[in-house]
Structure 1
Amino acid sequence: MALDGVTLAYLVSELAPQLTGARIDKISQPEKDEVHFQLRLQHGSIRLLLSTSATSPRFHLTQENKKNPPSPPMFCMILRKHLEGGKIVDLHQRELERVVTFEIQNYNDRGDLVTLHLHLEIMGKHSNLILVDPTTSTILDGLKRYSHAISRYREVLPGRTYLAPPSQGKQPPLEDEELWRKTLYEEDLDRPITSLLLARFAGISPELAREIVIQAGVNMEIRLHQCGDIDFSRLYQAYRRLSNPEGVPEIRPCLYYNSTPQSSPVAFSFVPFQQYQELRIENPSSLNDAIRSFYLSKSNNNTLESKRGSLRKVVQDQHAHFSKKLKLYDEALSNANSGLAYQKWGELLTANLYHISQGSVEVAVEDYYDPLLSSVVIPLNPHISAIDNAQRYYKRYNKAKATLRQTEPLKEAALEEVRYLDSLRVSLEQASTLAELDEIHVELVNQGYVAGKHLKKDNFKPKKGRPNTKSKSKANVKTPKEAIHPRVYRSSQGRIIYVGKNNAQNDWLSLRKGKPNDLWLHVKQIPGSHVLVPLEEGEEFPDDSTLEEAAALAIYYSQARGSSQVPVDYTHVKQLKKPNSAKPGMVIYEQNWTLYLTPKLEVLEQLLASEELSE
């Protein structure tokens, strides 16, 4: 949801008492479009975030302390020069426009107390943060500088006169219903009401326009010419309730989540919105907390998706590379297999040398390999002798045989790479945290797909013995020990089920965590997670419900998600073996059972809701 003018008005009203009178202790610019103010109050300190990001422009209090660049950007230094040590004396919003002005008093170079205005313009990709001297309306600097080459309306450059963003000609909240109707009738009668509310009245976002129509109890697609007096009356009352910050005596901030476990908030509002009533709702203690949580989650998701995208490109490029190799190897093997017939032609020529005339371009001989003794026509080079023609075919046969001998291992190696990259694809798409993506990144580095120092995570306690007193070189230094946290679920019978999140965790679950008698599951010949069900001593299998639910999780966390009648192999951990030089997550087994299953949606939902924090 966008931070519209109405919501912004509530946020300004909520934060103004906290921010007025606060001293600016420190200013930082951790990102190119984000500025942080460390503010000092009588009872402690708080951090104010001002963002001009194209996707999430906003301001709110935050607890996030981001790492700063090695040297501060120019705009940050300008703010420090003029504002550090200053006091916020007021903040206000111009009508319901998405422009918030911070009035800050501070002493200038000459020791005079002056007031400067810091305008935060929240306008999507045109958002900006501009420092202005209000006595002369001169711009001291802007976070995003641009000249008339970018905007014909105004320039944002030091020394230029500050002009507020152009007015959109929208009406502020109207208290007269007749005037409100008249304003609507100035537009096209065939336009939907939601579109008219958005176009004619200040502070309204698409979500708020929809909510006005929903709370009025009229059809979402209703058009102006279809509205009667009762419809207009209901629409106006809903408009007054939701679009006039002075008309709501008490706000009730809400965060909305999808039903999936551990989901991120998908929207926020200053009062409960009926359009989100099917979603899971949380009620933060303040609007600031709701906005902070929403945008923090959005920022984390953007970072997550950015990293996932970069890793996905690496995997896709490598997959395309090895797939192309496989195609070339298949063509070479196909040609080589057809070349094996040259041995027979050489032998037939050798057996019929006395029948071949010098200078012949072909010869028909009897195929004594065929029980029917059929005739075979063999092409000849007329410029060489019959025996040389036979030797030529022997050489072609030997070349084909050598090609097969050399190419088959190369094809198998390329096929193994493709299978491994398929498993990485599944892990990448199912990763839900930056930590999981970091594990995949380390794996890509270790496998040589990404440049970087090879890291071997030592997740296990070292064996006891004499300490190594020799000096360690860089190559021998291991990364700090980190715990592995697979997914942990509870079956309907209360049994624990472990699911690996990536290949490193799959190896750990199957080869370290699992005891010899524990049950291991994996979708047959399809990339996916390893699943482990711990068993008691002397227990051969879990109950049928747990077995089916573990198989359902194996399908869900595999490339076969959404398929039906999926084969799932299960066996005991003691049957697993990892060949030398095998890729991470690759194991082999000889004895197993196979279960064919179509996971039930309600069973999966209960399982996913049972997820616990791993040890």
Structure 2
Amino acid sequence: MALDGVTLAYLVNELAPQLRGARIDKIFQPEKEEIHIQLRLSQGNRRLLLNASATAPRFHLTGENKKNPPSPPMFCMILRKHLEGGKLVSLSQRDLERVITFEIQNYNDRGDLVTLHLHLEIMGKHSNLILVDPTTKTILDGLKRYSHAVSRYREVLPGRAYLTPPSQGKLPPTEDEETWRQAFSTDDLDRQMTKILLSRFAGVSPELALEIVIQAGLTEDVHLHQCGDIDLSRLFQAYRRLCNPEGTREIQPCIYYQPIPQSPPTTFTFVPFQQYQELKMEKFSSLNETIESFFYLKSITNILEAKRGSLRKIVQEQQTHFQKKLKVYEEAISNADSSLAYQRWGELLTANLHRIPLGSIEVMVEDYYDPSQSLVTIPLDPHISAIDNAQRYYKYYNKAKATLFKTKQLQESAVEEVNYLDSLRVSLEQASSLTELDEIHLELVGQGYLAGKPAKKEPRKTKKGRSSAKSNVKSPKERIQPRVYRSSQGRIIYVGKNNAQNDWLSLRKGKPNDLWLHVKQIPGSHVLIPLDEGEEFPDDATLEEAAALAIYYSQARGSSQVAVDYTHVKQLKKPNSAKPGMVIYDQNWTLFLTPKPEILERLLASEELPE
């Protein structure tokens, strides 16, 4: 949900009593369109965030301390000059407009006490933060400067007159139902009620308009002509309940998520909304905490997706590169295969040298390799002898044979690269944190796909337990953190998050008798079930649930009747020069499974911190 005028009013009502009288200690501009103001209050210091970006304009208190640029931008210097050391007198909003005014008193260069207004205009791509002298109504500076070439209505430049954003002519909140009904008297009877609410009343967003209609017991596409007196009364009661911040005593802010594990936040509201009742809800004690958490989680998600996208692009480019190589190899092998017949021609010519006169351009001989003794026509070079023609075809054959040998090796190597890149794609799509993406980034560096310094390998230990080389590398337990789940029987199930973790989990963490699972011939995570000494298999429920996790964390997610191989760790081998996450095994069992959604949901909810 966007920060509409009503939600902003609830936020102003919540924060105004807390911030009134606060002293401004320091001002920072950690991002191009974001200002942080360090406030000194009687109960301690707080940081006020003012954001005027096009994608996430907002204000709230925050505990996040972002890194500042080496030198402060010009607008930050202007704010420091006029506002640092000042007192925040009030925080206000007019007529549910999305303009928040911070009234600040401070002493100017001459020692006179002056009042300044800092206007935060939350209007999408037109959002801005403007410092104004209310006495002269002139702009001291704006976070985004623009002239009449950009906006015909007003200029935002130092020294220009400050004009408030143009009014949309909407009605402010009212407690009088008759006044509220009059807003509909001149409207089109065939118009949807949600559109009327959105266009007629201040502070109402599309989500809020829809919620008013739903809480009134009407359908979301109801039109004005379908509403009788009782319907209008219910609409008014819902409107008054939701859109009157001054008359509302308590709110119940919350954040909504999609009902899937580790999903980013979808929206937030100041009270539970019926339109989101199918979503997962998390309640908060304050609206400020709700907004701060929502935008923090969204920013983490944006950073995560940006990094995932950059790594995905690298992997896709490499996949395209190797796919092109495979096409070249397939064509070369096809041509070489067709040239293998030259050996037969050479032998047939050798057997029929006495029948071939000098200067012949072709010869027809019996093919004694064919049981039917069919005739075959062999082209000849008339300028050389028959024996030289035979030798020429032997050379063609040997060249084709050598091409096949070398090209098939290159083809196998390219196929291995493609399979490895497929496994990286799976790891990338399923990574849920920056740490996991960083591990994949290091893996790409280590494999030469990205420039950079590869991660240091942990030094091997000698028989006496001493390290063979000095190193500051952390121990695997500190570095490697696979997913950890509990089966319905209380047993631990480990799932690798990427190829490096898969190797560690299967070849180092797992004991010889532990059970290992992986989707058959499909990229995915390695799964490990620790077993007790003397135990050969876990219970059936744990085995099935571990297989379900192997399917979920693989390219086969969402498929049915998926083949899952399982074997003991002692059967696993890693060939020399094999890619990370690649293992082979000779003996295994196979389970065919379609994961049940309820089992997966319970398993994913059981994820716990690694040991």
Q: TM-score range by the shorter chain?
A: over 0.9
1:430 aligns with 2:430: yes
1:494 aligns with 2:490: yes
CA gap 1:495/1:459 in 2 versus in 1, 3 angstroms: farther
CA drift of 1:378 comes to 1.7
Please tell me whether the aligned partners of residues 350 and 390 of structure 1 are also in contact (alpha carbons under 8 angstroms): yes
CA–CA distance in structure 2, aligned partners of residues 225 and 424 of structure 1: 57
- Which string of whole-angstrom CA distances, capped at 9 and with x for unpartnered residues, describes residues 549-599 of structure 1? 111110110000111111111111111111122111111111111111111
Moved more, 536-545 or 349-358: 349-358
- Which string of whole-angstrom CA distances, capped at 9 and with x for unpartnered residues, describes residues 53-82 of structure 1? 222111111111111122222222221222
Please tell me whether the aligned partners of residues 26 and 80 of structure 2 are also in contact (alpha carbons under 8 angstroms): yes
* TM-score normalised to structure 2 length: 0.95
Query: What is residue 602 of structure 2 aligned with on the other side?
Result: 606
Please tell me whether the aligned partners of residues 446 and 456 of structure 1 are also in contact (alpha carbons under 8 angstroms): no
Among 571, 577, 580, the alignment partner of 2:573 is 577
Amino acid in the other structure paired with 2:4: D
Partner SS for 2:523? coil
Moved more, 433-442 or 151-160: 151-160
1:550 aligns with 2:546: yes
CA drift of 1:457 comes to 5.9
CA–CA distance in structure 1, aligned partners of residues 184 and 91 of structure 2: 32
CA gap 1:165/1:362 in 2 versus in 1, 3 angstroms: farther
Please tell me whether the aligned partners of residues 445 and 453 of structure 1 are also in contact (alpha carbons under 8 angstroms): yes
CA drift of 1:188 comes to 3.0
- Which string of whole-angstrom CA distances, capped at 9 and with x for unpartnered residues, describes residues 516-570 of structure 1? 1000000011000000000000000011111111111101100001111111111
Query: What is residue 12 of structure 2 aligned with on the other side?
Result: 12
1:61 aligns with 2:58: no
1:522 aligns with 2:518: yes
Query: What is residue 412 of structure 2 aligned with on the other side?
Result: 412
CA–CA distance in structure 2, aligned partners of residues 585 and 463 of structure 1: 27
Among 540, 547, 559, the alignment partner of 2:536 is 540
Partner SS for 1:10? helix
CA–CA distance in structure 2, aligned partners of residues 27 and 280 of structure 1: 37
1:371 aligns with 2:371: yes
Amino acid in the other structure paired with 2:193: I
Partner SS for 1:247? coil
- Which string of whole-angstrom CA distances, capped at 9 and with x for unpartnered residues, describes residues 300-335 of structure 1? 111111111111111111111111111111111111
Query: What is residue 589 of structure 1 aligned with on the other side?
Result: 585
CA–CA distance in structure 2, aligned partners of residues 502 and 94 of structure 1: 53
Amino acid in the other structure paired with 1:512: R
Please tell me whether the aligned partners of residues 460 and 468 of structure 2 are also in contact (alpha carbons under 8 angstroms): no
CA drift of 1:468 comes to 8.3
CA–CA distance in structure 2, aligned partners of residues 250 and 57 of structure 1: 25
CA–CA distance in structure 2, aligned partners of residues 338 and 224 of structure 1: 77
1:325 aligns with 2:325: yes
CA drift of 1:396 comes to 1.6
Please tell me whether the aligned partners of residues 133 and 139 of structure 1 are also in contact (alpha carbons under 8 angstroms): yes
1:205-216 equivalences in 2 (<5 Å): 205-216=205-216
Moved more, 243-252 or 54-63: 243-252
CA drift of 1:458 comes to 4.2
Please tell me whether the aligned partners of residues 457 and 480 of structure 1 are also in contact (alpha carbons under 8 angstroms): no
1:446 aligns with 2:446: yes
Partner SS for 1:246? coil
1:267-306 equivalences in 2 (<5 Å): 267-306=267-306
CA drift of 1:153 comes to 1.9
Structure 2 unaligned segments of length 5 or more: list them: none
CA gap 1:549/1:273 in 2 versus in 1, 3 angstroms: same
Partner SS for 2:246? helix
Please tell me whether the aligned partners of residues 255 and 281 of structure 1 are also in contact (alpha carbons under 8 angstroms): yes
Please tell me whether the aligned partners of residues 456 and 479 of structure 1 are also in contact (alpha carbons under 8 angstroms): no
1:7-86 equivalences in 2 (<5 Å): 7-86=7-86
1:53-132 equivalences in 2 (<5 Å): 53-132=53-132
CA gap 1:416/1:544 in 2 versus in 1, 3 angstroms: same
Could you tell me the percent identity over the aligned residues?
A: 78
Quote the RMSD (CA, aligned, Å): 2.1
Please tell me whether the aligned partners of residues 500 and 506 of structure 1 are also in contact (alpha carbons under 8 angstroms): yes
1:123-162 equivalences in 2 (<5 Å): 123-162=123-162
Please tell me whether the aligned partners of residues 361 and 379 of structure 1 are also in contact (alpha carbons under 8 angstroms): yes
- Which string of whole-angstrom CA distances, capped at 9 and with x for unpartnered residues, describes residues 355-391 of structure 1? 3344443322111111211111222334444333323
Please tell me whether the aligned partners of residues 257 and 267 of structure 2 are also in contact (alpha carbons under 8 angstroms): yes
Tell me the number of residue pairs that the alignment of Structure 1 and Structure 2 aligns.
610
- Which string of whole-angstrom CA distances, capped at 9 and with x for unpartnered residues, describes residues 435-454 of structure 1? 11111111111111111111
Amino acid in the other structure paired with 2:415: L
1:3 aligns with 2:7: no
CA gap 1:357/1:138 in 2 versus in 1, 3 angstroms: farther
CA drift of 1:121 comes to 0.9
Query: What is residue 223 of structure 1 aligned with on the other side?
Result: 223
CA–CA distance in structure 2, aligned partners of residues 468 and 455 of structure 1: 17
CA drift of 1:282 comes to 2.9
Please tell me whether the aligned partners of residues 459 and 484 of structure 1 are also in contact (alpha carbons under 8 angstroms): no
Amino acid in the other structure paired with 2:324: K
Moved more, 408-417 or 173-182: 173-182
Structure 1 unaligned segments of length 5 or more: list them: none
Please tell me whether the aligned partners of residues 29 and 76 of structure 2 are also in contact (alpha carbons under 8 angstroms): yes
CA drift of 1:478 comes to 4.7
Moved more, 552-561 or 384-393: 384-393
CA drift of 1:477 comes to 6.6
Please tell me whether the aligned partners of residues 457 and 479 of structure 1 are also in contact (alpha carbons under 8 angstroms): no
Partner SS for 2:610? coil
Partner SS for 1:293? helix
Moved more, 227-236 or 499-508: 227-236
Moved more, 384-393 or 87-96: 384-393
Amino acid in the other structure paired with 1:501: K
Amino acid in the other structure paired with 1:100: I
CA–CA distance in structure 1, aligned partners of residues 229 and 381 of structure 2: 99
CA–CA distance in structure 1, aligned partners of residues 317 and 544 of structure 2: 37
Partner SS for 2:424? helix
CA–CA distance in structure 2, aligned partners of residues 447 and 427 of structure 1: 15
CA drift of 1:47 comes to 0.8
Moved more, 44-53 or 350-359: 350-359
Amino acid in the other structure paired with 1:232: L
Query: What is residue 199 of structure 1 aligned with on the other side?
Result: 199
CA gap 1:381/1:468 in 2 versus in 1, 3 angstroms: closer
1:316 aligns with 2:316: yes
CA gap 1:423/1:144 in 2 versus in 1, 3 angstroms: same
Query: What is residue 508 of structure 1 aligned with on the other side?
Result: 504
